[in-house]
Structure 1
Amino acid sequence: MHKIPTYFFSLFALCVFIYSSPAIAEANTIDQQRVIVSFHNEVDRQLLNNYADKVVHVFDELPSAVVEVTDVQKKMLQVHPAVESVEVDKPVEKSAQTISWGYEAVEVAKRVPGTLSGKGVKVGILDSGVDTDHPDLKIAGGACMMEVAWSDGCTDSYEDTNGHGTHVTGIVAAQNNSIGTVGVAPNAEIYAVKVLNEYGDGTTATMMAGVEWAIKQDLDIINISVTTEYRDSNLERMIERAYEHGILIVAAAGNRGAIRTAGASTVEYPAKFDEVIAVGSINQQRMHDNLSSIGPEVELSAPGDKILSTVPADVRDKEYAESSGTSMAAPYVTGLAALYKERYPEMTNKQIRELLQKNALDLGEPGRDKYYGYGLAKVDKNPVSHGVSLPYKASGTGEIAINTRQAASKFNTYNVYRFDTLIAKEQTASGIVDYASAGTLYYYVHPVVDGKESNEFVSLKVQNSGPKLKDVPLTKWYNRFVSFLYYKDIMQGYTDGTIKPEQSIKRGEAATLLGKSLGLNGETRSTRFTDVSANVGASGYIESLAEEGVIDGFPDGTFRPDENVTRAQMALMIAKAYDIAGQDHTEFNDMTENVTGYEYINGMAAASIIDGYTDGSFRPHQTINRAEFSSFLAKTINEEMRIN
């Protein structure tokens, strides 16, 4: 494999097998033969009568005729000054479109519904460009990024002067016609983003520019069949931005195979980044390709051995060729993702990623492994509705009641997702209630069988008319908690109509929310705290909470209403207000008896009201924002909002 300097990227198709079209049959050499005679001006019928055994047909639109002649007659016609040419009437046969073994392995023909073709889905191929004149490809647009690294790098725009990008593109979207081969998503909108030159080389800068272009063009999916062994923080940040923007990112895992060091990963970048689906390669026997990189980052596998696809004729002298490697495997997953996105346009990149994982055919060791990831990527075969209806009622003030009677009857036990967030786990009830601001929501109900969630599901689209919370996006994790408190008239926001969910919450604000939730007296008045007079808006709730023994202020007699609330203070206030039992056992690695209120933090965690961070910490002294406080308060009040 071609090695390149630090921070350079290189395509890695390991080997190419040239595809040869069947040769046209040789001319018939017997005495009697059929030929097409073309004249310079008009057909000379008298000449044909003199030098042909039979005139079969005379064309009207061209000065040509089909005749039967001997070798001698043919030679006489060829030398006549009125004749332009004499060509043998060659046999033709139906042009064949080859269905690759990879297309069949991912079961494209079994997609539901069968009309899916990637229509309307915008796919970017970050590679060496594409042959825009290839008869089997249809390109929606593109851009060249090579000038970021070389001033003369875009003389050919995004035309493919290497061949790799065209081959990758064909796997995704070769047209479903009568020639060549067919891609997984032939009607996807393909955008060629040239980040590699004619030698298959690019740089971190060209890759970053390509990803940035994809973000600006609002693409749905990008395929990166390009690798480097070097981790670059700048590229990583750009990849993160693309993922946050909602782009699904698919990349080749690399062709470094396995190494003998136990547990070592050979997966290369950018596939190795968390935001990227790393794709490994399998052969026709569904076995791991020995040259395919391995490691815990491998997420899915796809066909990558001897894959027939499109190539530029002026580069390869053919329009189709075979190539092998994870470069070929990644576009199979990209094409499948385009089919998923067409079927479920409302799904986020995270949801589609999870659905690809669930639908994968497990290979190798049970579950995810370093060779195959979750397994062989396949089409989605989920029935359209399972015959389950999900009626709903939206109050217009934030409450959404969903009738799940049919789901409970058919599935017995089910999980409910709102967008890509689990909101109800292992339910058996005939209804659930959610809370949201104005907009369009999507819910997904998955059957649970023997404690395991099925990859099948029923979806529900909900049109919610209100309330309109202008700075609380519907897709944010905290929307349902803020909407619940708004519905309960606990959190009404500021005078400008904003909620400011990601702003740190002050002690006075927290007291107001807590006091409202308890139905306490909020009339402004003098308090026992030296820094809280009747002029302080939260004074009534602060004094009421003090009377109830929920708060007691600081040793110096102050309450400090304008000071930000810490996570420990939040837990202490809510737990005391709602009599959440404390406990000594902790699940957090940074909790000790030295933390004030540690027992209440442990108790709220045990009640599934609060949670910590992925590193196992709770961070008690870290300040909390209004969204987090809303989440904890809402789950305290409404037990149905807790996920055990």
Structure 2
Amino acid sequence: MKCYLLFFAALFFFSITPSISNANTIEEKRAIVFFHNEVNRALLEENTEEINFIFDELPAAAVNVTEDQKQLLASHPDIQMIQYDQPIEKSGQIIPYGYKMIGADKRVPSTLSGKGVKIGIIDSGVDTKHPDLRIAGGACMMRIIDIRGCSNSYNDDAGHGTHVAGVIGAKNNSIGVVGVAPQAQLYSIKVLDKRGIGTTSTIMAGIEWAIERDIDVLNISITAPRYDEALERMVKQAYDRGVIIVAAAGNEGPPWAGDQSSVQYPARFDEVMAVSSIDNKKQIGELSSIGSEVELAAPGENIYSTVPTSLYVSGYETMSGTSMAAPYVTGLIALYKEKYPEMTNRQIRMLLQKNAMDLGGKGRDIYYGYGLAQIDKQSVNGEIAVPYITDGQGKITFDTSQLINKYNSFNMYRAGKLIASNVTATEVVDYASKGTVEYHFYPSADPSGELNFVNLEVNNPGPAFKDLSLSHWYNRYITYLYHQKIVQGYPDETIRPTKLLTRGEASILIARALELDTSKRPTTFKDAKVGASAPYIEALATQNFVSGYPDGTFRPNEQVTRAQMAILIARAYEVAPKTNNAFKDINSRVTGSGYINALAAENIVSGYLDGTFRPYGTIDRASFSVFLARTKNKDLRVTN
């Protein structure tokens, strides 16, 4: 048989050699040879260029052969099959554009994977059998509204939750996509049915389940249009217990005329990181909700990720929206949490804000928040410190000398909102009610070209009012007036900021702010001679700051309009009228237009997003307090 093989080999080579100029150019390749029984090593030694490897578990060997040798061996009766070795590559897995946009491919250290971090996905469930996902556990809350709602446990029968899960933690393997935190522990918390519908109670139960199991991060890529106090209480409970909460801002597009925000709930709650959606060119998504509550932006347009294999044969689909943007931030948080396990939820939140790539206008804006979420790249505050003291009555005094020494000037943000710009003072004062207040100090012009800033949490001891939350935009103004003994609380420990203001109550606030003498007996107006507001009205009348109606009345119980508020404040503080109309519904025919224009020029009053002032609308205690506080204290006026 040996002679038989050599004979055919000689004939074969002979027939082709005339066309080959050099025998050394004959190409050899690696092949795998399978024998019927055992490997015939002698046969291989005589009819191959080299034996590379002989397998133990199979009667096979890897060898180097020419094409002629391969054909010759294939005809031998001991050999079952011979094939060329095939290259194997890491195939199929896609690195989404969003993965690189947030810098996940440049994580430091490169070994970060979210390992040990527990992430709860509040959604429609997750496909527990998807080959690209590893689910650590979960729970179904749909039995609350339908006893049959959990017949498939916490598996996903809608597709949404699985897509979210893939963005966060798809495995780093040879298929599909890779998630930001592929080794994070993912928990499927099913609160929506196959139509994507749930209730307040299902979401609350899901959050409670996460709290009880020490979940580190919650991703909530679901939205509701209306405020829900019950849900807010549960969200706050989770945040107070150290859970980091990320939510989709919503897909409502820009706010309607007259509205200041289109951000949905629960993203709109202060305890939640609201995420808007951007595309691969870092442009805001056409349908992304916007508003001052937006904290970060992340890729959310045309995102390729996992979907249930029971619904989609491929197991992967492309979706768009803030639902896809939020999990990018959640995945980043897992990397931060793994890197800084000792950090609290508040600290990690601030570090994410600090590391964001600023987009749009400098600093936080209604479209991108602090900017595009990024991997960690710098320490929290470096060597700059901002010491502070509190007086227990709402006043917080900051020592900003180190900031001034390094940057010359800075902008100051409170809970993400600008409260002072281009500050050059070495001491700054703010006012807040009881609770933890977050501040950021940006350099006005950073010579390094990077948007560095200092984060600071202030634990303020008081005062405390049941209906005055730190999240209320008017908190600092009312607290300032309280500190100055202009505004007083009620016996039930409320401040009643949404109560519509009367002419008598407005007179009390103005007279106290001006520190007028209220000892004179009221005589000017026939309906303002007695009552709590009477001496204050008389004090203002004595100074010609107010006037009554032609019938000799003041009508102290009549509600104040925004125009009347402007007239009262401008006269009391001797602000000269201006003719340049500041709002599109203000003209010379509007009573008090000159005063409204003047107060707007001084950054004391502001209008609505649609460019109107609405002079004949009524005003509540909160809004009046804001305008009065800005009038009395110029440091409370914000100029951009």
TM-score using structure 1 length? 0.65
The structure 1 residue matched to 2:95, chosen from 88, 98, 101, is 101
**Structure 1 residue 128, shift from structure 2 partner:** 5.4
Q: Which letter maps to 2:168? A: V
Identity of matched residues, % = 33
Residue pair 2:141, 2:205 contacting (<8 A) in 1 also: no
Residue pair 2:412, 2:420 contacting (<8 A) in 1 also: yes
**Compared with structure 1, are the counterparts of its residues 354 and 614 closer, same or farther at alpha carbon in structure 2 (3 Å cutoff)?**
farther
Residue pair 2:419, 2:636 contacting (<8 A) in 1 also: yes
Number of the residue aligned with 1:345: 345
**Structure 1 residue 151, shift from structure 2 partner:** 8.1
Q: Does 2:517 align with 1:521?
A: yes
| Structure 1 gap ranges (5+) | 1-24, 34-67, 72-95, 225-233, 255-263, 266-271
Q: Does 2:336 align with 1:336?
A: no
Q: Does 2:38 align with 1:31?
A: yes
Q: Does 2:385 align with 1:389?
A: yes
Residue pair 1:145, 1:210 contacting (<8 A) in 2 also: yes
Residue pair 1:125, 1:192 contacting (<8 A) in 2 also: yes
**Structure 1 residue 121, shift from structure 2 partner:** 7.7
Q: Does 2:617 align with 1:619?
A: no
CA distance in 2, matches of 1:242, 1:565: 34
CA distance in 1, matches of 2:318, 2:345: 30
Q: Does 2:495 align with 1:499?
A: yes
**Structure 1 residue 518, shift from structure 2 partner:** 1.0
CA distance in 2, matches of 1:561, 1:328: 52
Q: Does 2:248 align with 1:250?
A: yes
CA distance in 1, matches of 2:499, 2:449: 36
**Structure 1 residue 591, shift from structure 2 partner:** 1.5
Q: Which letter maps to 2:416? A: D
Q: Which letter maps to 1:547? A: T
Number of the residue aligned with 2:583: 588
Q: Deviations over 1:309-356 (max 9, x none)?
A: 5866x8889xxx76241259954642324645967833999x999889
Number of the residue aligned with 1:558: 553
Residue pair 1:608, 1:643 contacting (<8 A) in 2 also: yes
Residue pair 2:578, 2:597 contacting (<8 A) in 1 also: yes
CA distance in 1, matches of 2:559, 2:176: 66
CA distance in 1, matches of 2:519, 2:38: 114
Q: Does 2:354 align with 1:359?
A: no
**Compared with structure 1, are the counterparts of its residues 475 and 454 closer, same or farther at alpha carbon in structure 2 (3 Å cutoff)?**
farther
- Aligned pair count reads 514
CA distance in 2, matches of 1:241, 1:353: 28
Q: Deviations over 1:32-58 (max 9, x none)?
A: 79xxxxxxxxxxxxxxxxxxxxxxxxx
Residue pair 1:168, 1:328 contacting (<8 A) in 2 also: no
CA distance in 2, matches of 1:393, 1:577: 33
Q: Does 2:512 align with 1:512?
A: no
Q: Deviations over 1:584-619 (max 9, x none)?
A: 111112222232222111100110000111111111
**Compared with structure 1, are the counterparts of its residues 210 and 523 closer, same or farther at alpha carbon in structure 2 (3 Å cutoff)?**
same
**Structure 1 residue 111, shift from structure 2 partner:** 5.3
**Compared with structure 1, are the counterparts of its residues 169 and 468 closer, same or farther at alpha carbon in structure 2 (3 Å cutoff)?**
same
Q: Does 2:117 align with 1:130?
A: no
Q: Which letter maps to 1:359? A: M
The Cα RMSD (Å) is 5.1
Superposed, 1:203-218 pairs within 5 Å as 205-206=197-198
SS of residue paired to 1:581: coil
CA distance in 2, matches of 1:614, 1:144: 40
Q: Which structure is richer in relative contact order (CA contacts within 8 A, separation 6 or more)?
A: 1
Q: Which letter maps to 1:159? A: N
Number of the residue aligned with 1:54: none
Q: Does 2:411 align with 1:415?
A: yes
Superposed, 1:107-126 pairs within 5 Å as 107-108=103-104, 110=106, 117=114, 123-126=120-123
SS of residue paired to 1:408: helix
CA distance in 2, matches of 1:401, 1:528: 43
SS of residue paired to 2:457: strand
CA distance in 2, matches of 1:397, 1:431: 18
SS of residue paired to 1:551: coil
CA distance in 1, matches of 2:221, 2:633: 43
Which has the higher Rg, Structure 1 or Structure 2?
Answer: 2
**Compared with structure 1, are the counterparts of its residues 518 and 98 closer, same or farther at alpha carbon in structure 2 (3 Å cutoff)?**
farther
Residue pair 2:352, 2:374 contacting (<8 A) in 1 also: no
The structure 2 residue matched to 1:429, chosen from 425, 441, 456, is 425
Residue pair 2:249, 2:263 contacting (<8 A) in 1 also: no
SS of residue paired to 1:449: coil
Q: Which letter maps to 2:398? A: I
Q: Deviations over 1:404-439 (max 9, x none)?
A: 122223233321111122111122222211011222
Q: Deviations over 1:348-372 (max 9, x none)?
A: 99x999889x52779xxxx99x9x9
**Compared with structure 1, are the counterparts of its residues 494 and 376 closer, same or farther at alpha carbon in structure 2 (3 Å cutoff)?**
closer
**Structure 1 residue 110, shift from structure 2 partner:** 4.4
**Structure 1 residue 625, shift from structure 2 partner:** 0.9
Residue pair 1:609, 1:632 contacting (<8 A) in 2 also: yes
TM-score using structure 2 length? 0.66
CA distance in 1, matches of 2:621, 2:249: 38
**Compared with structure 1, are the counterparts of its residues 173 and 540 closer, same or farther at alpha carbon in structure 2 (3 Å cutoff)?**
same
**Structure 1 residue 159, shift from structure 2 partner:** 1.6
CA distance in 1, matches of 2:218, 2:568: 44
**Compared with structure 1, are the counterparts of its residues 568 and 610 closer, same or farther at alpha carbon in structure 2 (3 Å cutoff)?**
same
Number of the residue aligned with 1:64: none
CA distance in 2, matches of 1:206, 1:434: 41
Q: Which letter maps to 1:137? A: R
**Structure 1 residue 142, shift from structure 2 partner:** 3.7
Residue pair 1:171, 1:183 contacting (<8 A) in 2 also: yes
Q: Which letter maps to 2:594? A: E
CA distance in 2, matches of 1:375, 1:441: 21
Number of the residue aligned with 1:459: 455
Q: Deviations over 1:206-247 (max 9, x none)?
A: 5888767667879853125xxxxxxxxx96447999799787
Number of the residue aligned with 2:319: 326
Q: Does 2:299 align with 1:301?
A: yes
CA distance in 2, matches of 1:552, 1:470: 36
**Compared with structure 1, are the counterparts of its residues 216 and 569 closer, same or farther at alpha carbon in structure 2 (3 Å cutoff)?**
farther
SS of residue paired to 2:444: strand
CA distance in 1, matches of 2:573, 2:484: 17
CA distance in 1, matches of 2:600, 2:618: 18
SS of residue paired to 2:456: strand
Residue pair 1:414, 1:426 contacting (<8 A) in 2 also: yes
CA distance in 2, matches of 1:418, 1:577: 30
CA distance in 1, matches of 2:250, 2:509: 50
SS of residue paired to 1:444: strand
**Structure 1 residue 100, shift from structure 2 partner:** 5.4
Residue pair 2:442, 2:453 contacting (<8 A) in 1 also: yes
The structure 2 residue matched to 1:192, chosen from 175, 189, 194, is 189
**Structure 1 residue 302, shift from structure 2 partner:** 5.1
Superposed, 1:169-180 pairs within 5 Å as 169-174=165-170
CA distance in 1, matches of 2:113, 2:534: 61
**Structure 1 residue 531, shift from structure 2 partner:** 0.8
SS of residue paired to 1:542: helix
Q: Does 2:474 align with 1:478?
A: yes
**Structure 1 residue 583, shift from structure 2 partner:** 0.5
